[in-house]
Amino acid sequence: MSWDYTETQQLLHSMGDLSVAPAQTEVNALNVETVPPSPSLHLIYQTITSQHKQTQRDSKKARVATKQLQVAVSKVAKTCSEIGERIAAIECRADALESDHGAVTKQAAMHESQLSDIQWKVEDFENRQRRNNLRLMGIQEGVEGQDSRAFIIRLLKAALPEQTGWDWEKEIQRAHRFPLQMGSYACKGCGRKRMGEAIWAPFAQWLGCEQASSYAPFQRS
C-alpha cells in the first residue's frame, strides 16, 4: 500500500497539520514502523488497522451466519422432502381407499339387488305356501258376464268400501268359474248350506287375500 504526497498533504491540511515534508512522497505499509513517527500518520494507521480488524470480525460473523443459514436451509429442505414423501404416501393411500370404496359400493349394490330378489322369492314362496286363492260362493252362472275378474273387482269395491288402500286391479290376477262337484258350501254369513257354483280367484299377496276374505261369500280354497 502506497501514499501519494499530494493526497497526504490534502488530508493533513484538512486535519490542520502540514508537517509532512515535500521530499517524502510515499510510505510503504511493509516498513511503516521504520518511518519516523508522525501523529497524523499514526492516527491514520490506527484507524485503518481498527477498521481492518472490524472488517475481519464482521467477515467472521458473516461466515458464521452464512453457515448457520445454510444449515437452516438444509434442515428446511429436508423437512420439505419428508413432507413431500408423506403427502405422496397419503395420496397413494387415498387412491387405494377410493378404489376400495368403489368396489365396496359395487358389492353393496349387488348385494342389495340380490337381497331384493331373495325377498321377492320369499314373498312369492309365502304367498304360494299360504294358498292365496279365494272362492266366491253363491253366484249364479252368468251373473259375472264375460269377465269374471272384473266382476270380482267391482264386487269387492262395493262390498269393502273401507278398504281404500288396496288396489284390487293389481291384487286379483285372474278369475274363472269353478263348478262344485255334487256338494254344498257353508255360507259364513248365515251358516246354512247352499248349492251352487264358485268363482275362483288367486291374489297377488297374502294380505290382499286376507282383506278380501273378510267378505262373507269368499272362502279359502
| Confidence (pLDDT) at 52 | 86
Question: Confidence band (pLDDT; 50, 70, 90) for 17?
Answer: very low
* pLDDT, mean of residues 115-129: 73
Average pLDDT over residues 128-145: 71
Mean pLDDT of the chain: 72
- pLDDT for residue 90: 92
pLDDT for the residue numbered 164? 59
| Confidence band of 136 (pLDDT split at 50, 70, 90) | confident
Query: In terms of Cα–Cα distance, which of 211, 207, 134 is closest to 176?
Result: 134
The pLDDT tens digits for 63-81 are: 899 999 999 999 999 999 9
Quickly tell me which residue has 486535519 as its cell.
15
Residue 87 confidence (pLDDT): 92
Of 104-108, 115-119, 154-158, 203-207, give the lowest mean pLDDT range.
Answer: 203-207
Report how far apart, in Å, the C-alpha atoms of 186 and of each of 101, 143, 191, 217, 221 are: 62, 20, 6, 9, 13
Under DSSP, is residue 23 helix (H, G, I), strand (E, B) or coil? coil
Confidence of residue 102 (pLDDT cuts 50, 70, 90): confident
- pLDDT tens per residue, range 21-52: 444 444 444 444 555 556 678 788 888 888 88
pLDDT of residue 76: 92
Higher pLDDT, 153 or 71: 71
Tell me the domains of the chain and their CATH numbers: 5-63 (no CATH), 132-220 (3.30.70)
Q: What are phi and psi of 173, to 5 degrees?
A: -80, -45
Q: pTM of the predicted model, to two decimals?
A: 0.33
- SS3 state at 42: helix
> What's the average model confidence in pLDDT over 137-154?
79
| Eight-class DSSP state of 136 | E
